Amino acid sequence: MARKPDTDDVLLSPARRRMALAMASLPLAAGLPALGRAAAPATAEVNTTGLAVTDTEVIVGQLHSATGTMAISETGSIQAERLAIEQINAMGGILGRTIKVVQEDGASDWPTFAEKARKLLVSDKVATVFGCWTSASRKAVLPVFEKENGLLYYPTFYEGLEQSKNVFYTGQEATQQILAGLDWVNRETQAKTFYLIGSDYIWPRTSNKIARKHIENVLKGEVVGEEYYPLGHTQFGSLINKIKLRKPDVVYAIVVGGSNVSFYKQLRAAGVTADKQKLLTISVTEDELLGIGGENCEGFFSCMKYFQSLDNPNNQKFVQAFKAKYGEKSVIGDVTQAAYLGPWLWKMAVEKAGSFDVDKVVAASPDLEFTGAPEGYVKIDPNHHLWSKTRVGKIRRDGQFDVVYETPELIKPDPFPKGYQ
């Protein structure tokens, strides 16, 4: 990047200078049009609502559980968001400003999430927040974001039935995750009878409700059992015997957390393996397989929008960068990828709006298309969810997935599905 030294360069802050160096060291950057400096508009122009934006910096918040029980799941999201922000900064930041992160710890405690959200929005005045994981934490911070007019990018696939002006949902809502998977298993194996299992809280219950309606009304199949076990349940022997008794074509499992590990270990020990029983789940990603062990659920199917093994150039670059930063052994699950989208989608919206103002960013977001996503092409719907493909992966012994099916088209997000409530 040969640039004539001009007077402005003398005034470069150390951060900007580092950034310029990083740009110079990026082979890609040479081919891109001059980013950043030329496009850096005045702060008064891009920030009319008093956000933490200066001439050189924009401050964003990150709000996940780094401690407590949910740290198991949220660590991947923290890492992915960090990686995306780092890459954006290396490309010159957003509107010529380097992104600086204030990270808060929700500590797996929902009131703490609400309190930290208020702190980020009111005292740090962050331009946006990447955060939350469980629906419970999102529900806890939602009133804060709506009252303070903040902006939240939420990464987890979830039960739907929500839409807020202040939130963008980068994971799948329930119908995107459930319907195509059920259609696939019904088409491929002529499955007609299903046994629905879940941990006892809102996401598995809502998801199974949608699954049941789809099985009964659309697939004309039969639900031969539907039951829920308390979170943290560790003994699944009786359930496994009931499955053996009813002999469903497909076991549809939405078990989470430590229970998940017990469930699959005990299934295998009871001789229920993929050669005898079809099992489709929407709660097992590469992350969960670290704890379960691929050998315990080899051959079962998982329905997600992203798998680490996806074969496309975007994903190869993403996986490579992720491993370079977090170690060769690190794995990337569905939600980790969705979290990675957050900073990029925000960047695109801010640049389109030419402003960090929340209202303008929100207004600029619908119909934004992101072609660089590791999962492939995605698009933001006016309902603040993403259009994305649904994929089915077959679990391998090494804890990765073979992608056996993907929907030909992007699926429209439908957080309030008619006929499924």
Partner 1 sequence: MESFSDLGAILLMQGFNGLSVFSVLLLMALGLALIFGQMGVINMAHGEFLAIGAYTTYLMSTVVQAHAPGFMPYYFLFAVVAAFAVAFAVGWLVEWLMIRHLYRRPLDTLLATWGLSLIIQQALRSVFGPREVSPELPEWLMGSWQPLDGVDIPINGLFVMALSFVMTGGLLLALFRSTWGLHVRATVQNRLMSGAVGIDTRRVDRVTFALGCGIAGMGGAAFTTIGATGPTSGSLYIVDTFLTVVFGGAASLFGTVASAFLIAQTQSVSEFFMTGSMAKVLTLSAIVVILMLRPQGLFSIKTRK
Q: Which residues bind partner 1 (CB under 8 A)?
A: 66-67, 69, 71-72, 75, 200, 226-230, 232-235, 237-242, 244-245, 257-262, 265-266, 268-272, 287-288, 290-293, 295
313-326 and 71-90 helices, crossing angle to 10°: 110
| Of residues 292 and 319, the one with the C-beta less far from partner 1 | 292
Task: Name the nearest CA neighbour of 64 among 55, 76, 50.
Answer: 76
| Of residues 331 and 378, the one with the C-beta less far from partner 1 | 331
Residue 154 DSSP one-character state: E
Closest distance of CB 133 from partner 1, Å: 12
Task: Name the nearest CA neighbour of 164 among 142, 189, 147, 188.
Answer: 142
| Of residues 128 and 199, the one with the C-beta less far from partner 1 | 199
Closest distance of CB 234 from partner 1, Å: 5
| Of residues 197 and 411, the one with the C-beta less far from partner 1 | 197
Closest distance of CB 69 from partner 1, Å: 5
| Of residues 159 and 298, the one with the C-beta less far from partner 1 | 298
- Helix, strand or coil, per DSSP, at residue 394: strand
Task: Name the nearest CA neighbour of 88 among 346, 349, 344.
Answer: 344
| Of residues 71 and 368, the one with the C-beta less far from partner 1 | 71
Q: Computed from CA positions of residues 375, 380, 381, 385, in that sequence, does the dihedral angle turn out positive or negative?
A: positive
What is the spatial distance between Cα 264 and Cα 242, in angstroms, rounded to a whole number? 15
Please say whether the beta carbons of 402 and 396 come within 8 A. yes
Residue 197 DSSP one-character state: E
Please say whether the beta carbons of 252 and 281 come within 8 A. yes
- Helix, strand or coil, per DSSP, at residue 307: coil
Closest distance of CB 401 from partner 1, Å: 17
In the structure encoding, which two tokens stand for residue 185, read together? 């298993």
What is the spatial distance between Cα 209 and Cα 198, in angstroms, rounded to a whole number? 11
Closest distance of CB 103 from partner 1, Å: 15
Closest distance of CB 134 from partner 1, Å: 15
Task: Name the nearest CA neighbour of 145 among 102, 116, 171.
Answer: 116
Please say whether the beta carbons of 416 and 163 come within 8 A. yes
Closest distance of CB 219 from partner 1, Å: 23
What is the spatial distance between Cα 400 and Cα 387, in angstroms, rounded to a whole number? 24
| Of residues 143 and 232, the one with the C-beta less far from partner 1 | 232
| Of residues 75 and 175, the one with the C-beta less far from partner 1 | 75
Closest distance of CB 330 from partner 1, Å: 10
Closest distance of CB 351 from partner 1, Å: 34
The answer for residues whose C-beta is within 8 angstroms of residue 170's C-beta and 6 or more apart is: 153, 154, 155, 338, 339, 341, 342, 345, 386
Task: Name the nearest CA neighbour of 255 among 267, 246, 242, 244.
Answer: 267
Q: Computed from CA positions of residues 190, 196, 198, 203, in that sequence, does the dihedral angle turn out positive or negative?
A: positive
The backbone torsions φ and ψ at residue 403, rounded to the nearest 5 degrees and listed phi first, read: -75, 115
Closest distance of CB 294 from partner 1, Å: 9
Task: Name the nearest CA neighbour of 120 among 185, 79, 61.
Answer: 61
| Of residues 195 and 370, the one with the C-beta less far from partner 1 | 195
| Of residues 82 and 389, the one with the C-beta less far from partner 1 | 82
What is the spatial distance between Cα 337 and Cα 355, in angstroms, rounded to a whole number? 26
User: To 10 degrees, the CA torsion angle through 343, 347, 349, 351?
Assistant: 170
| Of residues 326 and 387, the one with the C-beta less far from partner 1 | 326
Closest distance of CB 275 from partner 1, Å: 12
